[in-house]
C-alpha cells in the first residue's frame, strides 16, 4: 500500500483507522463492536508500521539500519509500556476501565497523526513530493 500511495499518505490513513478503532473501542459495550474495533485498530497499526519503515529509507537514507533499529525499539517499547498503563484503568474503574483505557490509543493516534501531518507539511514547504517510493 505504501509503495502505491506513498509512505506519508499511507501512514496518515492507517493512523486515522487506528484512531477510529480506538474511539469505537472506548465507547463499545457490545462484543461484536469491540471485535470490529479491535480488527480496525490492528489493521491500522499493522499498515502504519509498514508505512513507517517505508519512510525510514526516504527520510534517513544514510542511516537506514540505525533508524530502523530506533523505530523498531520504540515500537517494542510501546508494546511494553502501554499494557501496564491500560491496567491502571481496569484496577481503578473495574470493567469500565477497559473502554476508558483505550483513550490512551486515541491520544497516541492523535499525536502520531499530528507528527505525520507535520512531516508532510515540511516536505510541501521544501518543495519535496510526498514519499512515493
Band of residue 126 on the pLDDT scale cut at 50, 70, 90? low
Residue 74 pLDDT: 86
Residue 22 pLDDT: 94
What's the rounded Cα separation, in Å, for the pair 80 and 93? 22
Give the largest CA-CA distance in the chain. Answer: 51
Determine how many CB atoms are found less than 10 A away from the CB of residue 38: 16
Asked if residue 131 has pLDDT above 50, the reply is no
What's the rounded Cα separation, in Å, for the pair 47 and 5? 12
> Above pLDDT 70, what percent of the chain?
92
Q: Comparing 123 with 52, which gets the higher pLDDT?
A: 52
Average pLDDT of 79-106? 89
Average pLDDT of 79-93? 90
pLDDT in tens, 24-59: 999 988 899 999 999 999 999 999 988 888 888 888
Band of residue 88 on the pLDDT scale cut at 50, 70, 90? very high
Amino acid at each position: 500500500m505504501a509503495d502505491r500511495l506513498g509512505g506519508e499518505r499511507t501512514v496518515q490513513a492507517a493512523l486515522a483507522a487506528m484512531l477510529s478503532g480506538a474511539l469505537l473501542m472506548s465507547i463499545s459495550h457490545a462484543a461484536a463492536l469491540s471485535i470490529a474495533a479491535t480488527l480496525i485498530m490492528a489493521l491500522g497499526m499493522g499498515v502504519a508500521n509498514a508505512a513507517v519503515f517505508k519512510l525510514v529509507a526516504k527520510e534517513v537514507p544514510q542511516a537506514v539500519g540505525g533508524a530502523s533499529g530506533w523505530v523498531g525499539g520504540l515500537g517494542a517499547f510501546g508494546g511494553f509500556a502501554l499494557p501496564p498503563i491500560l491496567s491502571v484503568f481496569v484496577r481503578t474503574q473495574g470493567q469500565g476501565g477497559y473502554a476508558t483505557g483505550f483513550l490512551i490509543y486515541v491520544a497516541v493516534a492523535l499525536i502520531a497523526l499530528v507528527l505525520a501531518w507535520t512531516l508532510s507539511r515540511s516536505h510541501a514547504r521544501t518543495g519535496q513530493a510526498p514519499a512515493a517510493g
